[in-house]
Chains A and B, each alone.
Chain A
Amino acid sequence: DAKTTQPTSMDCAEGRAANLPCNHSTISGNEYVYWYRQIHSQGPQYIIHGLKNNETNEMASLIITEDRKSSTLILPHATLRDTAVYYCIVRVGGNTDKLIFGTGTRLQVFP
C-alpha cells in the first residue's frame, strides 16, 4: 500500500469548514483513498472513500486532485464532536485487504 503524509495536528473553529490534506504521491491506479477517524479510544469510524472522482456523503466531502497524488477531506461545518484523529489510508479496493494506519491528523475543534 502507498504511504500517506498528513499534518500532525490542525485546529478549526466550530461552525467553520475543516480541510484536512493528505499526500499520497506514490498511489497506484487501482488504489483508493479512504478516510477514517478515531474519537478518543473508540473504534475507528469510516468517513468516506474515493478513487479519482470527488465524493460527498452526509459526513464529509473528498476532493482528489487530477493526478491523484493528494486529496483533501472537508468537514463543511465542524462541531466539537468532530474532534478526533483523522486517518488518510490508501488501499487497493477489495474487501479482504487490511487497512494500514499511518500517523493521522489530530483535529481539534474549538468553540
Chain B
Amino acid sequence: AAGVIQSPRHLIKEKRETATLKCYPIPRHDTVYWYQQGPGQDPQFLISFYEKMQSDKGSIPDRFSAQQFSDYHSELNMSSLELGDSALYFCASSSTHPQGTHEGYTFGSGTRLTVV
C-alpha cells in the first residue's frame, strides 16, 4: 500500500538559508499534518491542513510557512534558518472518510534537516 512520501530524506543548509520540505499524502487522504522533532525530544505539532485550508496551528515559528496544494501534497517552507531548526520533520496524513476501523493517521519517514 502507498504510504506518506516525504522529500528530501536528508537536507543540509547553512544558517540564514531557506529550505522547502515536501509531503505527498496517502491517496484520498485530505488532511496533512507537520511535526518537528528535535534531538532527544518528542514530536511537536506545527501545523495542519484540511482540503487545502489551514485547519490547526501549533508551535510553528513565524519564519516557517506551509500550504497544501490542489493535489493535496503539502510543502513546509522555512526561511532564515537557525541552528536550532536542525531536526526531523515528519508529515502525516489522514482521511475524513476512513476505510476500516483505523482512521488512517499515517506518518511519513521524515526529512532530517541539518543547519550548519
A99 and B42 form a contact (CB under 8 A): no
A99 and B45 form a contact (CB under 8 A): yes
CB of B27 within 8 A of chain A?
no
A98 and B110 form a contact (CB under 8 A): no
Give CA–CA (A102, B44) in the complex, Å: 9
Give CA–CA (A87, B103) in the complex, Å: 17
Contacts of B94 on A, CB cut-off 8 Å? 95-96
Give CA–CA (A2, B38) in the complex, Å: 23
Q: What 0/1 readout, one digit per residue, does chain A (74-98) give for beta carbons within 8 Å of chain B? A: 0000000000010100000101111
- Size category of the A interface is 20 to 34
Interface size on B, residues (CB 8 A): 31
CB of A101 within 8 A of chain B?
yes
**At the interface with chain A, which of B50-58, B65-73, B76-84?**
B50-58
B95 and A98 form a contact (CB under 8 A): no
Instruction: List the 3 closest A-B pairs by CB distance, nearest first.
Output: A43-B107, A101-B42, A95-B96
Known: A46-B102, A99-B45. 18 other contacts (CB 8 A): A38-B43, A41-B88, A43-B90, A44-B43, A44-B92, A44-B107, A85-B42, A87-B42, A95-B31, A95-B98, A96-B56, A98-B45, A98-B48, A98-B58, A100-B45, A101-B35, A101-B42, A103-B42
Residues of chain B having any CB pair with chain A under 8 Å: 4, 31, 33, 35, 42-45, 48, 50, 55-56, 58, 88, 90, 92, 94-98, 102-110, 112
